[in-house]
């Protein structure tokens, strides 16, 4: 199967698939004309990548997950630990964004927001008010 078809089935752009090959995540065989030839197994791998990437795993984590996927004797504990660690990471990121949001949201509240030049937001950014 050509890269375009594989791309459709894996829901990934061809460019990305070629990139994944470049960094050693998938290694399709080649047809006589030099075109990449994807097997169902390759596509399976690509879908695995698509899904784990979309869940926020980095490329290196995906590499690790794939090796666990290939390893018939893996311990499910390893995988579970990775998933839980990732959930923790996302939680931390959410909390960070939340506090960012709260800080940022206070700024416009003191700003009359009309054509006048004095602007409490700018003042705050410039540190002309008490602020972190």
C-alpha torsion sign, points 15, 19, 20, 21: positive
Q: Of 16, 37, 48, 63, which lies in the binding site for a second copy, with binding defined by CB under 8 A?
A: 48
Q: Any contact of residue 3 with DNA (CB under 7 A)?
A: yes
Q: Count CB neighbours of 58 within 10 A.
A: 11
Q: Any contact of residue 104 with a second copy (CB under 8 A)?
A: yes
DSSP 46-65: HHHHHHHHHTT--HHHHHHH
CB 26 within 8 A of CB 42: yes
Binding site for DNA (CB under 7 A): 2-5, 13-16, 18-19, 32-36, 53, 58-60
Binding site for a second copy (CB under 8 A): 44, 47-48, 51-52, 55-56, 65, 68-69, 71-77, 79-81, 83-84, 86-87, 90-91, 93-94, 97-98, 100-101, 103-105, 107-108, 111-122, 124-127, 131
């Amino acid at each position: 199967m050509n890269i375009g078809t594989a791309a459709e089935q894996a829901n990934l752009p061809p460019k990305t698939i070629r990139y994944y090959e470049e960094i050693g995540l998938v290694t399709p065989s080649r047809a006589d004309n030099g075109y990449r030839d994807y097997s169902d197994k390759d596509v399976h791998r690509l879908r695995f990548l698509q899904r784990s990437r979309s869940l926020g795993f980095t490329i290196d984590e995906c590499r690790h997950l794939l090796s666990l996927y290939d390893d018939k004797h893996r311990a499910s504990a390893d995988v579970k630990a990775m998933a839980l660690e990732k959930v923790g990471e996302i939680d931390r990121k959410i909390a960070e964004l939340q506090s960012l949001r709260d800080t940022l949201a206070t700024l416009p509240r003191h700003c009359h927001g009309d054509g006048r030049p004095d602007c409490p937001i700018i003042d705050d950014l410039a540190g002309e008010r008490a602020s972190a």
